[in-house]
Structures are given as structure tokens and as C-alpha cells.
Amino acid sequence: MGITKVDGFTPEVTQMAEILKALGHPARLAIMEYLINSPDCINGDLVDHLPLAQSTVSRHLSELKKVGLIKGTITGNCISYCINDDVWDKIKVFFNTSSDQITPGKSCAC
Amino acid sequence: MGITKVDGFTPEVTQMAEILKALGHPARLAIMEYLINSPDCINGDLVDHLPLAQSTVSRHLSELKKVGLIKGTITGNCISYCINDDVWDKIKVFFNTSSDQITPGKSCAC
DNA sequence: TTCCCATATCGCAATATTACGATATTAAAA
DNA sequence: TTTTAATATCGTAATATTGCGATATGGGAA
């Protein structure tokens, strides 16, 4: 098949899975790190930092944008992409609150 | 193609991407939440909580195990799967340290 | 306007993923 | 030993993903 079942899962789980799936690729994760660490939002030389063709990088950028991880556009002299803090924080919250709920000492003895 | 390029990325990025990719599926994310919230490690009734066939759930479990997100096995009377805290914490650290490096007020004006 | 540069989109081919039923496996129970 | 219950694996078909070259697009420069 290749099609991912969505029925039966909560919208929260489905949405978070989409975000994490977008991050689950070396190129896209590297793009996020690059955007985080770069002093400004310009991504003009992003292609030079990745071992991928320009068209492929553009495709990955559009996927990151699709799930809301990055925002911005290339319109004329305003060339910029940057992190969407809202979504990034959402991920942080997800993992932090989840971890708190792990019962201490629950590690299985197998 | 469908094949993911690995050459040119740091091992850290590649490994974290694999972990996040494993989490980037509603079923697998739901499994993790279930394991976190369940009082014990037993996952016998996991299939009842997911809208998927038993064989599909088993496959997802094996993928979570492949990247180290869960550990444990079904061996005789010791039926258990549980979270691998090491890997889970690794994810937490990854996002927390990354977020700290975001330059404040860097949001692009486009 | 025409040219140039950077980014986006398209089309394709190769591979990966997903899901399910059927079957195999494994260990406990009868 | 045979049966039973639970999980794992196999085989499959359908769809998704990935990457690249070619091309389109859009704005500034000449």
C-alpha cells in the first residue's frame, strides 16, 4: 500500500506525526539546524551546505513549509526562510510533557 | 529513487533523523504514547487500541525497536515492551539545546 | 526590453513504506 | 504430546518518497 492510515488516531497524534515525519530526513533536519544556527534568515547558500541538487533542496524546503516548520518566502529582494517558533515549541512541549509521564523505574527486566 | 542520501550528513543528523522518522507515523507515535502512559510494560492489548491489524502493529513495533526507541521482547512469561529512556532523553536534549540557539527576534518580516 | 540569477515546479525512474491476510513461530496450558 | 494463544514473519499489491535533470518563473540589472 504505502498509504498511511489516519482513521482511528487523534488529530493531535496525526499532526505531530506529520511534523516528526518531516523532520525524519537527514536533509530536512540539517536544513532546520542550519536555519537555527545561521545569523540571519537568508538561505541562499543553503544548497552549498547540502549534498543535494538545488531542485531537491527546494523540494525539502516546501515540505518543511507544508507542515509549518518554516515560514517565509522568496519574493523579490526579500529572500528569507526562518523557523516557525510556534511549531518548534510545540514539539518541545510534546516531548517534555510526555517524558514527565513516564513512570519511574518502569524499565522492563527482560 | 526513494533512496535517502546519507553521504554528506553528520552521523548525528543521520541518526536523529532515523529516530524521528520512526516517530513520524501516527501508529508508532500512538504506540509510544501508549507505552508511556500504561502502568506497566505489557503490550498485549496494544492491538485493541490501534485501528490496525496485528501483523501491522507487530511490524511497527519492530521498527521502533530497530532505532532503539523501545526495548524488550516477548520471551515466554516475560511479555513486555517499554520505552528506552536513553533514546527518549536524547530526543529531548536535541530539541531543547537546539531551541536555545535560536536567535531571539529573528523572525523574518516577509 | 532582454539578459541573468535564484528559486520553484515538472516529469521521470528507482526505491521505500504501508497494510493486510496467511502462515510460521514460540511457549504455556491441557 | 497436542492444543491454544500470542506474536513474528512472509508475500503481495498499492502508494509514497527521493533525487535529479530539465524547465518554468519571477525579479533585478544591463
> Which residues, at least 6 apart from A66, have a Cβ–Cβ distance to it below 8 Å?
A22
Q: B45: which strand partners?
A: none
CB contacts < 8 A, A to B, total 157
Contact A81 B108 (CB under 8 A): yes
Low-confidence spans in chain A with pLDDT less than 50:
77, 104-106, 109-110
> What are the residues facing B82 on neighbouring strands?
B71
Overall domain count for chain A:
1
B15/A25 Cα distance (integer angstroms): 10
Residue B108 lies in a domain: no
The pLDDT of residue B103 is 55
Q: For residue B12, which residues of chain A lie inside 8 Å, CB to CB?
A: none
Q: How far apart are CA B82 and CA B36, in angstroms?
A: 8
Q: Band the pLDDT of B55: cuts 50, 70, 90.
A: very high
User: In the prediction, which pLDDT does B101 show?
Assistant: 59
Residue A97 lies in a domain: no
Which chain A residue shows the shortest CA-CA distance from B74? Answer: A110
The reported pLDDT for the residue numbered B43 is 60
**8 A C-beta contact, residue A71 and residue B47:** no
For residue B74, the surrounding DSSP H or E stretch is strand B74-75
pLDDT computed for residue B8 by the predictor: 86
Could you tell me the pLDDT band of residue B56, with boundaries at 50, 70 and 90? very high
Which bases along strand C come within 7 Å of a protein CB atom? 6-11, 13-23, 26-28
Q: Using a pLDDT cut of 70, give the percent of chain B over it.
A: 77
The C-alpha atoms of residue A24 and residue A110 are separated, in whole angstroms, by 29
- Answer whether residue A34 is part of any domain: yes
What is the pairing mode between strands A70-71 and B82-83?
Answer: unpaired
With respect to residue A96, please indicate whether it lies within any of the assigned structural domains. no
For residues A58 and A81, give the distance between their C-alpha atoms in angstroms, rounded to a whole number: 12
Q: In this structure, is residue A30 part of a structural domain? A: yes
Give the domain extent around B31. Answer: 11-89
Residue A100 forms part of a structural domain: no
Residue B81 is assigned to a structural domain of this protein? yes
Q: Is residue A99 part of a domain?
A: no
Hunting for cell 516517530 — which residue is that?
B23
Confidence of residue B28 (pLDDT cuts 50, 70, 90): very high
Indicate whether B74 pLDDT > 70. no
The pLDDT confidence band at residue B105, using thresholds 50, 70 and 90, is very low
State the CATH number of the domain containing residue A78.
Answer: 1.10.10.10
Protein-contacted positions of strand D (CB under 7 Å): 6-11, 13-23, 26-28
- The DSSP letter of residue B69 is S
Is the pLDDT at B48 greater than 80? The verdict is yes
Residue B30 C-alpha, separation from nearest chain A C-alpha, in angstroms: 7
Please list, residue by residue across A48-73, b when 16 or more beta carbons sit within 10 angstroms of its beta carbon and e when fewer do: eebebeeeebeebbebbbebbbbbbe
Measured N-to-C along each axis, helices A11-23 and A85-100 cross at an angle, to the nearest 10 degrees, of: 110
